Chain A
Amino acid sequence: MIDRRTLLKTGAAALTATLASRTAFAQNGGDINVGVVLPLTGASAQFGINSRNGLELAVDRLNSSGGIKSMGGARIKLIVADATSAPTAAATAAQRLISQNEVVAVIGAYVSSLTLAVSEVLERRGIPLLTISYADQLTERGFKNVFRINPKASALGRAQVDACIDISADSGRKLERVAIVYEDTAYGTSQSAGLRAACKEKNLSIVMDEAYPQGITDVTPLINKLRAADAQVLFPVSYLNDTLQIVRSMRQQQVQVPVVGGAGGFILPEFGQSLGEFAEGVLSVNSSNYDLDPESAKLYRDRYNYPMVHDAIEHAALIEILAQTLEKTKSSAASDLRAAMTETRFEGGWINGMPGGAIDFDETGHNTLAVPIIIQWKGGEQATVWPKQFEKVSPTWTN
């Protein structure tokens, strides 16, 4: 027979267990929920999917090799939400992950405007956001919960200009006249503004500065103008379809001006596949590249049959950061994670794919070791050619 006392005891125990289950779960080898907000539909879907693949690969390997050891082998569980292409939807998704899934951190949201919207929600709830988005102001609003591993957008623009000056000087030329061509979207306008500022700093004269409608049907006028402008280098800021047209038409019309792309379409594998020999020698700025850590890149290529693009590398690195942080804190409390992330210098594992090979956040959440790199298309692959300390293949400058 069960007397009243036993019943009360069991009841109380059950109640306590339920209340404590959240903490207990995380410490006894249960799941640690990590939110992922990425654009899986709309214009940026391809980038969101590459990013998700990087995350899944890193998490699967972490979990199969014993999870977070200091927490009794706790496993990281990704809760994925579609950010769509609207900041409001992205913010709502983040809100959902926090209140429904009790995530300890959120990773996302690739597109800067989406990330900015998500960061506003997370800052107010005190949950860390790990991101690869470039927008300068992400880490310039005094937020305590934003951690960004990539260089700022303005640094990318400067790197493009600096690299051109360096590389052309190596081949015995002095860079003076540049051309900027960009799509008339948020991405094109903001990135070209960074380029323009960088050119001004270095006293380069911009002999052509032209916006074109995204999805342009005839690039011939642009190419003619470029030919007439007598520029020594072209900085195009475009996504895939437009980049293909611009580079193909240039090469077909024997305009041999070196091309230095602003990431976007220039660092997609499809760029090399579609253009074949026309892709050869095209340069682009990037924030990481697969030849910096061939071992990890091979794991990715074997699983997805696709090169480990920078989005995937960087998102895998975010998992590495999170795993090392949890290993150190032994707790999934947001305040502990935040403190540990600011204090720790992260190295090894998936971070080997990042230029600099380590990540160190300052109090604004900016990675002080982030460096933009320049890649060049060689034989259908992207090779890191600048700056000197990360150079895998020496750059060529044809003009």
Chain B
Amino acid sequence: MKRARNLLVAGAGLALALILPMAVDANGYAVRVLTLVLLFAAMAQAWNIVGGLASQMSLGHAAFFGLGAYTSTLLLIHFGLSPWIGMIASALVGGAAAFALSLPTMRLKGHYFALATLAFAEVFRVAANAWSSLTGGPVGLSIPYGEPSFLMMQFQDTRSYYYLALSAFAVVTVVFAAIKFSSLGYRLRAIRENQAAAEVVGVQTTKVKIQAAVISGCLTAALGTIYAQLNFFFDPDSVFAALQISIRVALITIVGGIGTVVGPLVGAVFIIPLEELTNVLFADKAAGLSQLVYGLLLIVIVLIQPRGLAALVGSALARRPKTSGAGT
């Protein structure tokens, strides 16, 4: 029964998301913000596989994201390869990087894991800045300006990018839900609750954690390709950014509701427009005021509901002490 209800809610949400851009200007600001909301929701959902299900606080997802952006864009620039195929290549590279990162770090816990992953992404940022002959160095890469075509993942109106981001979010969410309700999901939760106990009952903890990390890395890298196509330009400091990418996706998930299916979307729907709104309202006032307001609002949210906005919404809707949202 609950499952049927959830599917119904998801269907209604999808229908709403499909008609939403029809209500606004096809090239307008609103569509762009909505597109960014969905893209970041997708990134947060990919992060949620590692951060939410396995409770491994990765602060290095920018590494996979940046690798994805660079892989498909370099293939596009040098070989004219369609970004759709480039995206698959990106996913493979991202997965490989996640595997390489997992081997030495999966034994680390808590802060140590967070710091190691943070450093991992920083290595890529520095390398991309230094290795100019391959990456274009600090001046960044531009997607070659061309005629809009579906094959080249370049569209005339922003609305098409919105549907691209929506599809990406849907795919990542289905993957997340599939893992969460599969045996892999149960193993991950067992590890989260008590790793030693999980091992005792026969969960191959290292293998399970690596599986989750690789899936998450693949998805994040594929999203890097979409970001590059959407933004047309990126540099090492923007795609390998600790604050703008790694910490932001973690923040979105945590504010939204970590480990839940709806958390990343709720978080992104809240955080991305909030950033924009504070910028719009305060940017021409005192310098820095917009970010101060943004920071204060985040603190307030976390203080009100540490389990995330999804839990807040859930409890408001259900009016029951135990909600279907967080923790399950």
B130 at the interface (CB under 8 A from A): yes
Is A256 at the interface (CB under 8 A from chain B)? no
Compute how far the CA of A187 lies from the CA of B129 in the bound complex, rounded to whole angstroms. 10
Provide the bound-state CA to CA distance between A99 and B32, in Å: 11
CB neighbours (8 Å) of A120 from chain B are 142-143, 231-233
Chain B contact surface mostly: helix
Q: Are B139 and A87 in contact (CB under 8 A)?
A: no
Asked if A113 and B140 make an inter-chain contact with CB atoms under 8 angstroms apart, the answer reads yes
Interface string of B26-56 (1 = CB under 8 A from A): 0111101100100000000000000000000
CA distance A112 to B142 in the complex (A): 13
- Rounded to whole angstroms, the CA-CA distance of A143 and B233 in the bound complex is 14
> Would you call A142 and B142 a contact (CB within 8 A)?
no
**With A87-B233, A120-B232 in contact, do A93 and B279 touch (Cβ < 8 Å)?**
yes
Q: Which residue of the partner chain B has the closest CB to A45?
A: B287
The reply to whether A135 and B139 form a contact with Cβ atoms under 8 Å apart is yes
| A132 proximity list for chain B (CB < 8 A) | none
Cα of A190 to Cα of B233 in the assembled complex, Å: 17
Within the complex, what minimum Cβ distance (angstroms) separates A287 from chain B?
Answer: 18
The answer, among B32, B145, B237, B280, for a CB contact under 8 Å with A123, is B145
Encode contact with A along B244-283: 1 for CB under 8 Å, 0 otherwise.
Answer: 1000000000000000000000000000000110011001
**B11 close to A (CB within 8 Å):** no
**Alpha-carbon distance between A195 and B262 when the two chains are bound, in angstroms:** 52
Chain A residues bordering chain B, tally (CB within 8 A): 43
Q: A92-B33, A92-B36, A137-B139 are in contact. Are A113 and B235 (CB under 8 A)?
A: yes
Bound-state Cα–Cα, A186 to B283, Å: 25
A99 touches B283 (CB 8 A): no
Question: Given the complex of chains A and B, what is the CA–CA distance between A81 and B284 in angstroms?
Answer: 7
Contact with B along A181-214 (1 / 0, CB 8 A): 0001111011001000000000000000000000
Indicate if the CB atoms of B145 and A88 lie closer than 8 Å. no
Cα A88 to Cα B27 in complex, Å, equals 16
Chain B residues in 8 Å Cβ range of A141: 142, 145
Mask: chain B, 217-256; 1 = CB below 8 Å from A; 0 = not: 0000000000100011111111001001000000000000
Task: Identify B129's interface contact among A80, A82, A92, A189, CB under 8 A.
Answer: A189
**What is the bound-complex CA distance between A92 and B275, given in angstroms?**
11
B199 on interface, CB distance cutoff 8 Å = no
B182 at the interface (CB under 8 A from A): no
A131-168 interface mask toward B, CB cutoff 8 Å, 1 = contact, 0 = none? 00001110001110000000000000000000000000
- Whether a CB of chain A sits under 8 angstroms from the CB of B327 is no
Given contacts A87-B231, A87-B233, A117-B233, contact A137 B25 (CB under 8 A): no
A186-B233 in contact (CB<8A)? no
**A129 → B minimal CB distance (Å):** 13
- The CA of A187 and the CA of B283, in the complex, are separated in Å by 25
Whether, in the assembled complex, B324 has its beta carbon less than 8 Å from a beta carbon of chain A, the answer is no
A-B pair count, CB < 8 Å, reads 118
Q: Are B288 and A86 in contact (CB under 8 A)?
A: no
Q: A99-B25, A117-B233, A137-B142 are in contact. Are A193 and B284 (CB under 8 A)?
A: no
CB within 8 Å of B: which A93-142 residues: 93, 95-96, 98-100, 112-113, 116-117, 119-121, 123, 125, 135-137, 141-142
- Among candidates A81, A92, A116, A125, residue contacting B142 with C-beta atoms closer than 8 Å: A116
Q: Flag if B280 contacts A96 (CB, 8 Å).
A: yes
Inter-chain CA distance A244–B237, complex, in Å, is 25
Q: A40-B287, A99-B28, A117-B231 are in contact. Are A89 and B139 (CB under 8 A)?
A: no
Q: How far is the CA of A190 from the CA of B138 in the complex (A)?
A: 6
Report A-chain residues with C-beta under 8 Å of the C-beta of B137: 186, 189-190, 193
Residue from A84, A125, A137 within 8 A of B27 (CB atoms) = A125
Query: Is B291 an interface position by the 8 A CB rule?
Result: yes
Chain A CB count within 10 A is highest, among B145, B279, B288, for B279
Q: Chain B's nearest CB lies how many Å from the CB of A86?
A: 5
State how many angstroms separate the Cβ of A226 from the closest Cβ of chain B: 22
Q: Does B132 contact A (CB under 8 A)?
A: yes
Residue B290 interfacial (CB < 8 Å)? yes
Q: Which of A350-384 contact B (CB under 8 A)?
A: none
Q: Assess whether A185 is in contact with B138, with CB atoms less than 8 Å apart.
A: yes
Complex CA distance for A123 and B30, rounded to whole angstroms: 19
Nearest A residue to B286 via CB reads A40
Interface check A49, CB cutoff 8 A: yes
Q: Which residues of B contact A189 (CB under 8 A)?
A: 129-130, 132, 137-138
A171 CB contacts on chain B under 8 angstroms: none
- Check A41 for interface membership: any CB of B closer than 8 A: yes
In the complex, what residues of B have CB within 8 A of residue A48's CB?
287
Which residues on A are within 8 Å of B, measured CB to CB? 40-41, 45, 48-49, 80-82, 84, 86-89, 91-93, 95-96, 98-100, 112-113, 116-117, 119-121, 123, 125, 135-137, 141-143, 184-187, 189-190, 193
Chain B positions within 8 Å of A, measured between CB atoms, are 25, 27-30, 32-33, 36, 126, 129-130, 132, 137-140, 142-143, 145, 158, 227, 231-238, 241, 244, 275-276, 279-280, 283-284, 287-288, 290-291
Can you sample 16 A-B contacts with CB below 8 Å? A45-B288, A82-B290, A86-B241, A87-B231, A92-B32, A95-B29, A96-B29, A113-B233, A113-B238, A116-B140, A120-B233, A185-B129, A186-B138, A186-B139, A186-B237, A190-B139
Given A95-B158, A193-B137, list of 6 further CB < 8 A pairs? A84-B279, A113-B238, A116-B140, A185-B138, A186-B139, A187-B138
